[in-house]
Amino acid sequence: MDKETSLINALTYQLPGSITRPLYMEYKSRMEEIERIWKTGNAAYIELREYRSVVEALMAVSLFYRYVFGHIHGATSFYKMVNPISRQGNERAIKVGNSIIDKEQQRHLQAAVIAFDKIQRKYQLAPAFYEFSETIQFLRNCNELLKAKEYENDDTV
C-alpha cells in the first residue's frame, strides 16, 4: 500500500468482504454526515474541522474496533476464561465462526490486543470512546478528546 492510502483502507485490507463492505459503508455515511454538520456551522463542532484527518482516523479506528477488534478482544477474554492458567496442559480450543482458536492463535491475538491497548492509552482512547450510535455522539467524543490533556509526543507505539 502507498503513503496515500487512507486508514480505513489500511485497516480493512485483506479482510473478508462480508466485514469490509458494511464497515466501509458506515464509514462513508458517517463521514458524509460529519461534513453536513460542519457545513451547518455548528459552533460546538466547527473547531474539529481543522482536525479533519484526525477525525477521519478516529472514525476509522472506532468502526474497526466495533466490527473487528472488539470481537478479537472478546475471543481472547473468552479463551482465557475457558483455559485458566492453573490448568495448563488441559488446553481447550474454542471455535469462533469458522476459526479455531488454540494456544498458538491465542498468543497472536493477545499480542494484537496488547498492542492496541497501548495505542489506546497513548492517545487517551477509553473504550467508551467507541460507544456511539449517533454521529453527533462521536463528534462529542472527539471534542472531549481535543479538550483532554495532551498526550505525550513520542513515537514509541
Sorted by sequence, the CB contacts under 8 Å of residue 86 that are 6+ apart come out as none
pLDDT digit string (tens) for 3-17?
A: 455 899 888 888 889
Task: Decide if pLDDT at 61 tops 80.
Answer: yes
* Pairwise CA distance, residues 129 & 55, whole Å: 12
Residue 107 in grid coordinates? 498468543
pLDDT digit string (tens) for 13-48?
A: 888 898 899 999 999 999 999 999 999 988 889 999
* Pairwise CA distance, residues 79 & 93, whole Å: 8
Q: Is 155 helix (H, G, I), strand (E, B) or coil?
A: coil
**Ranges of each domain in the chain:** 7-147
The closest of 19, 22, 37, 54 to 135, measured between CA atoms, is 37
